[in-house]
């Protein structure tokens, strides 16, 4: 596509956008002037779907009318509520229904999965992750390693970019995996790096890990609802994701889990067990002896979190209505491509402002990260004063995330204009 830096061009793209009507399905925050602002922070917290309130209200009504019997009566009996999310979740991440379940929160699920899929031995005990991963992932892995009596400095191997580069090369990840070889127990990376916005080649990484006998998993917090995922076909062993970023399911929203079908009938696989993961055929007999449900559902601990799941159900319905991730990804590439072009048109030296997100659309999602070497916080504050909600990450990065469900090309043009104004007349 040939881009132009004009408002008319941006509005022309919006007029031809088949997804433009979905913007009106969300509550847009207002800017300082009382008009709808530009929300470019969906990589941190997605906007509220207008359908969310009614979805929760329906469950309040069921609670009011049925009390405890709401588990078995009403339009969506709570006893089976997690099952109402299964099909949409499977479509979202490219999985089979038996491979997914919605439960708990993200880091809780990461710990539950690592209990099963990080099983170090005396010789195979290394775990590979990206350097500078989101702190929650770092803390989870440090504590898991310590649970096995190992030292994090010895057991955890961090992947770092080449000198002078900001992102990891796939060939370097593959080479490191091969180098670790028989000592590597588990690979756990973010599907998209939260800081740079780099999207990893999960299929290639999984192949490389399996080639040396390692288990491979991903934290998809910044990938679910952002990228087209094919977890089953890529042969990924396990994954988890949150629902409050690109999936617009509310602050602290519930989390999704993927466990490959090859583990579906493995009751011998070590795990932390809970009542809700027990075989439903005799769950209510209250017997000793845990027998897990088939598939990812066997990792459940407790009964469904009805209210956050109701929001998530409404939000997933919007993804399906929009045509699924293929349709969202097409628009996402156009939005991010336009933002890239506008920022590159500034022709700024790297010692002033540098885009650290990969230029290749296949290696990024919705996010563009700007490394601002001089007065970065001032740029972030200037954007906020113009009604543009971005995200600031220490020490000097501004993250911008145009989301296809509710951001427009005019939004992107306004971001580009604001950055240009600040560069030309810094305040």
Q: What is the mean pLDDT of residues 159-176?
A: 97
Two tokens, residue 95: 């999985």
- Distance (Å, whole) CA 173 – CA 208: 9
Query: Do 361 and 227 form a contact (C-beta atoms < 8 A)?
Result: no
Which pLDDT does position 425 carry in this prediction?
72
Q: What is the mean pLDDT of residues 125-151?
A: 97
Which pLDDT does position 384 carry in this prediction?
95
Q: What is the mean pLDDT of residues 259-280?
A: 94
Which pLDDT does position 273 carry in this prediction?
95
Query: Do 402 and 335 form a contact (C-beta atoms < 8 A)?
Result: yes
CB neighbourhood size of 74 (10 A): 16
State the architecture of 76-320 in CATH terms: 3-Layer(aba) Sandwich (3.40)
* Residue 39 Rama label (left phi>0; alpha psi -120 to 50; beta): beta
Q: What is the mean pLDDT of residues 411-418?
A: 97
pLDDT exceeds 90 at position 90: yes
Which pLDDT does position 134 carry in this prediction?
93
| Percent of residues, the chain, with pLDDT higher than 70 | 100
| Percent of residues, the chain, with pLDDT higher than 90 | 92
Banded pLDDT at 427 (limits 50, 70, 90): low
In this structure, what are the phi and psi dihedrals at residue 256, rounded to the nearest 5 degrees?
A: -110, 155
Neighbouring residues of 74: CB distance < 8 A, sequence distance ≥ 6: 62, 65, 66
Q: What is the mean pLDDT of residues 342-366?
A: 91
What residue ranges of the chain are covered by domains with CATH 3.90.1150.10?
Answer: 7-49+324-424
Which pLDDT does position 284 carry in this prediction?
83
Q: Mind listing the pLDDT tens digit for each residue in 210-253?
A: 999 999 999 999 999 999 999 999 999 999 999 999 999 999 99
Which pLDDT does position 426 carry in this prediction?
63
Q: Mind listing the pLDDT tens digit for each residue in 300-337?
A: 999 999 999 999 999 999 999 999 999 999 999 999 99
Banded pLDDT at 1 (limits 50, 70, 90): confident
- Distance (Å, whole) CA 36 – CA 309: 28
Query: Do 263 and 269 form a contact (C-beta atoms < 8 A)?
Result: yes
pLDDT exceeds 70 at position 4: yes
SS3 219: strand
Query: Do 243 and 253 form a contact (C-beta atoms < 8 A)?
Result: yes
Identify the DSSP state of 146: H
**Number of C-alpha atoms within 13 angstroms, CB side, residue 59?**
21
Sheet containing strand 156-159, strands side by side: 100-103, 255-259, 238-242, 215-219, 184-190, 126-130, 156-159
Q: Mind listing the pLDDT tens digit for each residue in 24-82?
A: 999 999 988 888 899 999 999 999 999 999 999 999 999 999 999 999 999 999 999 99
**Residue 45's closest CA among 401, 423, 424?**
401
What residue ranges of the chain are covered by domains with CATH 3.40.640.10?
Answer: 76-320
Q: Tokens 């009390």 sit at which residue?
A: 67
Query: Do 1 and 361 form a contact (C-beta atoms < 8 A)?
Result: no
Q: Mind listing the pLDDT tens digit for each residue in 275-305?
A: 999 998 888 888 899 999 999 999 999 999 9
Which pLDDT does position 351 carry in this prediction?
80
- Distance (Å, whole) CA 144 – CA 270: 14
Banded pLDDT at 350 (limits 50, 70, 90): confident
Q: What is the mean pLDDT of residues 93-98?
A: 98
- Give CATH for domain 7-49+324-424: 3.90.1150.10
- Distance (Å, whole) CA 235 – CA 411: 38
**Residue 205's closest CA among 160, 159, 174?**
174
Burial code (b: 16+ CB inside 10 Å, e: under 16) for 118-128 equals bebeeebbbbb
From residue 161, alpha-carbon distances to 155, 173, 198, 366, 367 in Å are: 20, 10, 12, 21, 19
Which pLDDT does position 285 carry in this prediction?
86
């Amino acid at each position: 596509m040939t881009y132009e830096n004009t408002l008319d061009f941006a509005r022309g793209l919006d007029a031809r956008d088949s997804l433009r009507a979905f913007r009106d399905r969300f509550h847009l925050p207002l800017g300082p002037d009382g008009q709808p602002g530009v929300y470019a922070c969906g990589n941190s917290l997605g906007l509220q779907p207008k359908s969310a309130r009614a979805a929760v209200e329906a469950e309040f009504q069921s609670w009011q009318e049925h009390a405890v019997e709401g588990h078995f009566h009403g339009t969506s009996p709570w006893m089976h509520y997690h099952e109402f999310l299964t099909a949409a979740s499977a479509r979202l991440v490219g999985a089979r229904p038996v491979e997914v379940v919605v439960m708990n929160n993200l880091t809780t699920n990461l710990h539950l999965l690592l209990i099963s899929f990080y099983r170090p031995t005396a010789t195979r005990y290394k775990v590979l992750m990206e350097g500078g991963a989101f702190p929650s992932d770092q803390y989870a892995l440090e504590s898991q390693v310590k649970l096995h009596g190992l030292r994090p400095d010895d057991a955890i191997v961090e992947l770092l970019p080449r000198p002078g580069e900001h992102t990891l090369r796939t060939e370097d990840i593959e080479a490191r995996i091969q180098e670790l070889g028989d000592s590597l127990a588990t690979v756990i990376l973010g599907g998209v790096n939260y800081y740079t916005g780099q999207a990893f080649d999960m299929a290639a990484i999984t192949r490389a890990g399996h080639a040396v006998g390692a288990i491979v998993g991903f934290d998809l917090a910044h990938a679910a609802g952002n990228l087209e995922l094919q977890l089953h076909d890529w042969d990924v062993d396990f994954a988890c994701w949150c629902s409050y970023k690109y999936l617009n399911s509310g602050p602290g929203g519930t989390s999704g889990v993927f466990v490959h079908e090859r583990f579906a009938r493995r009751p011998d696989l070590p795990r932390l067990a809970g009542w809700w993961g027990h075989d439903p055929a005799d769950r209510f007999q209250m017997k000793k002896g845990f027998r897990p449900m088939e598939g990812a559902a066997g990792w459940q601990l407790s009964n469904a979190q009805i209210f956050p799941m109701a929001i998530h159900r409404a939000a997933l319905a919007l993804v399906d209505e929009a045509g699924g991730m293929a349709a969202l990804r097409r628009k996402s590439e156009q939005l991010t491509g336009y933002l890239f072009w506008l920022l590159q048109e500034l022709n700024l030296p790297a010692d002033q402002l540098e885009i650290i997100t990969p230029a290749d659309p296949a290696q990024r999602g919705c996010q563009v990260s700007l490394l601002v070497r001089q007065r970065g916080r001032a740029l972030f504050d200037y954007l906020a004063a113009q009604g543009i909600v971005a995200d600031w990450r220490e020490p000097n990065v501004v993250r911008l995330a145009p989301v296809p469900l509710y951001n427009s090309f005019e939004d992107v043009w306004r971001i580009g204009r604001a950055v240009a104004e600040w560069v030309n007349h810094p305040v």
